[in-house]
Structure 1
Amino acid sequence: MKYAFISDIHGNANALDAVLDDINKQRVDKIIVLGDIAYRGPEPKRSIELIKSLNTTVVKGNADEWVVRGVRQGEVPDQALELMNLEREWIVNRIDQVDIDFLAGLPTEAIIEVDGVTMQAFHATPTSLFDVVLPDATEDKLETKLFCEKDAHLYLYGHIHKAYTRVVNGKTVVNLGSVGLPFDGVTKASYAIVEVSGGTISTSHRRVAYDYNKTIRQYEDSHYPNTQMMKKIIETGSI
């Protein structure tokens, strides 16, 4: 079985188009989506519609939760709270209640078992939509934060927008990076492929070029509330 894991689209439907086209060329058996679909991008509605059209497993991210109920104090720096809720309001005004209900009803993890291999997939950690586990986290932190709920062979997550793979005490950790807003300095959409055959696991990352200037123009033309910061992230692949 060959799986594509994608996450952190953040309303960048142009990047998602490119990734889905690339996935189609890889002859993947199934796509798994690990959250953050609409918030902070110029095409929230189309991003949700594209994900729904896959008819596949989708788990909830922190930004999906924010679309549903707003950004709360303590979840972001105090100085960013008002602006981030303005962004949330902009998003909500461009989607429907059925879209909000879809995001609200998403599960927080997916367990995949195939050919004797168990994979656990979630947005940030198995117990939180918000915890941050960076690529240089200690092995102890990886074990405490990521391995705490399920004894799996492979753990996959998004949230930090930085693609990496590590092996810790015989368990493989894969961060998918981000489809719509990479933070690792590469201005290309990121996703991961996992192939399982006869108990053998193969993992890889793919970086997909897309017309990010089109996305920037969409931010500008739609008068997005935080256009300058989002343009910088899109142009540089970093925050």
Structure 2
Amino acid sequence: MKLAFISDIHGNALALDAVLKDIEQKEIDKIFVLGDLCFRGPEPKRSLELVKSLDTDVIKGNADEWVVRGVQNDEVPVQAFEIMNKERDWTYSKLSSNSIDYLSQLPTELNLEYSNFKIHAFHATPLSLFDVVQPHEHDEAVEEKLMQRDADLYIYGHIHKAYIRYIEGKCIVNTGSVGLPFDGLSMASYVVVDVDKDSFQVSIVRVDYNENDVIGQFKNTYYPNINTMEKILINAGV
């Protein structure tokens, strides 16, 4: 059984197109989506439509919550508060009321079991859509923040930095980001889990796409924070 976990699309439908094509070529059996579908990209509507067309399990991310109710003061740096709410309002204006309802009603975690292997998937942590757990954190912090349920494999998104790590025989994986990687490599990122009867294998997949086309889309849609988004796309957040 081949499973794909994708996250943090952020309205970048061109990157999602490339990932879904790669998933199809790999003959993946099931796709799971771990949140942040629309916000901060030039194609929020099409990104959401692509996700919904997968007819699969989708959970909520912090950016989905922002689209629904706006960015609050204590959730972003003070200097970013005004512009991020302008970005949120632009995104909200591109979506139907049905789409907003869809985002608001998404669950916040997945508990899966394949061939006796348990997988716990969530966006940021099991208890929060906003907490940040970086790849370099101490084992004790990772255990406390991410490994609260009994599972063999823990998968999350949110930080836009793909990695695989093992603690006490348990596997912790970050998907990275489909639409806005922050690890210096401007390629879409997702995770494949290949589960067999007595084993599982986890791999991070990077997929190339043309980020300049996405930058062109931003400029053509009069997005409210084009310069910042252009820098993030070109430099992959570094």
- Aligned pairs for 1:77-226 (under 5 A) are 77-148=77-148, 150-226=149-225
* Aligned twin of 2:14: 14
Amino acid at match of 1:25: Q
For residues 82-124 of structure 1, give each alpha carbon's deviation from its aligned partner in whole angstroms, at most 9, with x where no partner exists.
1111000000111101110110010000011010000000000
Cα distance, 1:236 vs structure 2:
1.0
Structure 2 length-normalised TM? 0.99
**Structure 2 CA distance for aligned equivalents of residues 152 and 97 of structure 1:** 37
For residues 111-162 of structure 1, give each alpha carbon's deviation from its aligned partner in whole angstroms, at most 9, with x where no partner exists.
11010000000000000000000000100011000012x1000000000000
Stretches of structure 2 lacking an aligned partner (at least 5 in a row): none
For residues 140-191 of structure 1, give each alpha carbon's deviation from its aligned partner in whole angstroms, at most 9, with x where no partner exists.
011000012x100000000000000000011100000000000000010000
Cα distance, 1:45 vs structure 2:
0.2
* Aligned twin of 2:60: 60
Q: Equivalent residue of 2:73, what SS? A: coil
**Structure 1 CA distance for aligned equivalents of residues 223 and 62 of structure 2:** 20
Amino acid at match of 2:160: H
**Structure 1 CA distance for aligned equivalents of residues 174 and 184 of structure 2:** 15
**Structure 1 CA distance for aligned equivalents of residues 208 and 49 of structure 2:** 22
Amino acid at match of 1:31: I
Amino acid at match of 1:138: H
Stretches of structure 1 lacking an aligned partner (at least 5 in a row): none
* Aligned twin of 2:28: 28
**Structure 1 CA distance for aligned equivalents of residues 87 and 171 of structure 2:** 36
**Structure 2 CA distance for aligned equivalents of residues 181 and 187 of structure 1:** 8
Question: What do you get for the CA RMSD once the two structures are aligned?
Answer: 0.6
Amino acid at match of 2:79: Q
Following TM superposition, the consecutive aligned residue runs of length 4 or more in structure 1 with deviations greater than 2 angstroms are none
For residues 10-56 of structure 1, give each alpha carbon's deviation from its aligned partner in whole angstroms, at most 9, with x where no partner exists.
00000000000000001101000000000000000000000000000
Equivalent residues, number: 238
**Structure 2 CA distance for aligned equivalents of residues 95 and 13 of structure 1:** 14
Cα distance, 1:65 vs structure 2:
0.3
Amino acid at match of 2:50: L
Cα distance, 1:238 vs structure 2:
1.4
Amino acid at match of 2:169: G
Cα distance, 1:199 vs structure 2:
2.8
Q: Equivalent residue of 2:203, what SS? A: strand
**Structure 2 CA distance for aligned equivalents of residues 171 and 142 of structure 1:** 11
Q: State the identity %.
A: 56
